Amino acid sequence: MTTDFPRWFTSSYSNNGGNCVEVATNVPGTVPVRDTKDRDAGTLTFRADSWSAFVQFASHQSV
């Protein structure tokens, strides 16, 4: 099953004046990522397992 219409969302932790990324998690096997300031500039697409590993790593880093 594929979709032509990703459902984009921004993390609830993103409250920094628009300097955010959006992700779509309804695309099977991949996670597209785009810049909220320039949505028409294109997307980066990651394998779902790679994106999950990145998020897990990032969530364990101190700010």
What is the structure's pLDDT at 13?
72
pTM summary value: 0.76
* H runs (alpha helix) in the chain: 48-59
pLDDT class of 57 with cuts at 50, 70, 90: very high
Mean pLDDT calculated for residue range 40-62: 91
What's the rounded Cα separation, in Å, for the pair 35 and 23?
9
pLDDT digits (tens, 9 = 90+) for 3-38: 568 999 987 777 766 678 899 989 999 999 999 889
Q: How confident is the model at residue 48 (pLDDT cuts 50, 70, 90)?
A: very high
- Name residue, tokens 């969302």: 9
